[in-house]
Amino acid sequence: MEQQRIRNFCIIAHIDHGKSTLADRFLEITGTVRPGEMKEQFLDQMDLERERGITIKGKAVTMKHRTPDGVDYQLNLIDTPGHVDFSYEVSRALAACEGALLVVDATQGVEAQTIANTLLALQYDMEMIPVINKVDLPSAEPERVAAEMEQFFGFRRDEVMFVSAKSGIGMQELLNCIVERVPAPKGAADKPFRALVFDSTYDSYKGIIAYVRVADGSMSKHDRLQVMSSGRSVEVIEVGVFSPEPTPIDVLNAGQVGYVATGFKDVQECAVGDTLTNQSNPSTEPLPGYVELKSMVFAGLYPADGEDYTRLRAALEKLKLNDASLSIEPENSGALGFGFRCGFLGLMHLEIVQERLEREYDLALIVTAPSVAYEVLLTNGEVMRVDNPSRLPSPTTISEIREPILGITIVTPNSSGLGDAEQARVVMEYTMPLAEMLADFYNQLKSRTQGYASLDYTFEGYRAAPLVRVDILVNQTPVEALSIISHRDNAVVHGRTLVEKLRSAIPRQMFEVPIQASIGTRIVARETVRAMRKDVLAKCYGGDITRKRKLLEKQKEGKKRMKMVGRVEVPQEAFLSLLKIGDEG
């Protein structure tokens, strides 16, 4: 296919605005998927994606479209997620495209994630096509939503496309519009081969399969491939396109989106953001990659059975292969054994990774409470990054602690008179600590706005704050995995809330179990799990009172010994109880 007849585009939208359904109709209309094989959310292959009704991983698919004048075009669609935690997938898709469909629900209008994704797309200087979806619904207000898109983004009224992805209204016109308005790729066919890796997966036979956007030149099977960042080279096993299943072809040319089966076995040998070139005629300049993502939320992942540690490590490495935002670091806890400290972009990201490990790799996990990373300025001038409360240095060596701050954008219906009376929706912007976001903020926002508000956030940097570490002691033994970092004003309340929740979460033993919260050497809260009392007098029917006393004294001595050597098992519910601090607030 000539480069002038290739169009690379993606679909960006807020969650649940019809992005996956739009992709389904494209596959159907272009004949990419036969009618008998068509199913809803066709590109969402993961069970988790289907159950939750969200896109987690971006997908690529090549389609053929014939315009009314009889000319065939190759359309390369990269489907993207809509949830705020997966915005890194959106940025990678944008780097591989020349155009984007900005999809907005005709019943809900512009949402927070719509604004965020549009601003992201504008950084890549892309051709944006505004699309209002679900126009056939009884509650649809396409004209109001078109006015919102003009107001928020400056689109002209004649640029807006009105469609219904479910019924097919306006879909042929939208495909023709993509051909007309999205520019063809600008790669040079006669230059040395260069391709940007925008995603990857692992195959036990073909090794790492790199999803690529070819910028210049061409690549064929059996060519020698070179990774520009590392200099590693290998013979290409297969090249192909997604139509929508991986389909081998003879050659990948400039401007195309496809895949290269590299044969690499180590996940570090071909990373997302790398530039691939041809070893026999290499390029000297790599393509601009991606900004390295910094994890925002951290949690410990431990196998419930210690013997599964090696399986957990292998599973995490495979997930990391096509999830550049997941960070992994081995750690050891006295209470939980060997595991990993993992970094995520948000709570949804953490939840998805946990479910994938449990489902796809059949692992039983213990997940510690999520925390955020802090910057600690030491008295010697050194700055260290602390993502685990147990690693916070001694207070005597700390000059200040800085916490991560978010810029929050909330879009909500104008039912409370916050904005102009003529405005249907209000956009509010705030700054808040990331740690407060973990404390049930999103659920509270939804419940207080009857589910109508939408939220997006961006990382704005670190700010000094009066923070202290709250340690939890179970039976006088510190449990590192239960430590938290809290604002000094709230630390005592958080400590008290924690020990109260732990008292009901930890099962009763044969001896009393004290649960304490401490800040430094000061105990700020205490609860006690009462001992299970065994009736040692059950078989004493009457008789001498001294015999009964002797049995009770013997029981008392036995409990003392158990208290000294007894090990308290802390169940998973105890760690989850940390998540629920702030529910009542």
Residue list for the binding site: 13-20, 79-83, 133-136
Residue 365 parent element (H or E): strand 365-367
Main-chain phi, psi angles of 419, to 5 degrees: -120, -165
Q: Which residues line the annotated binding site for GTP?
A: 13-20, 79-83, 133-136
SS (H, E, C) 180-249: HHCCCCCCCCCCCCEEEEEEEEEECCCEEEEEEEEEECEEECCCEEEECCCCCEEECCEEEEECCCEEEC
Q: Are 159 and 131 in contact (CB under 8 A)?
A: no
- Residue 432, classed as helix, strand or coil, is strand
Q: Are 403 and 435 in contact (CB under 8 A)?
A: yes
DSSP state, 421? T
Output b/e per residue, 95-132; b: 16+ Cβ within 10 A: bbbbbbbbbbbbbbbbbbbbbbbbebbeeeebebbbbb
Amino acid at 152: F
Q: Are 277 and 193 in contact (CB under 8 A)?
A: yes
What counts of helices (H) and strands (E) characterise the chain?
A: 13, 31
| First and final C-alpha spacing in the chain | 60
Main-chain phi, psi angles of 249, to 5 degrees: -135, 170
Nearest Cα to Cα of residue 96 among 109, 80, 114, 112: 80
Nearest Cα to Cα of residue 44 among 19, 76, 75: 19
DSSP one-letter string for 72-130:
EEEEEEEE---SGGGHHHHHHHHHT-SEEEEEEETTT---HHHHHHHHHHHHTT-EEEE
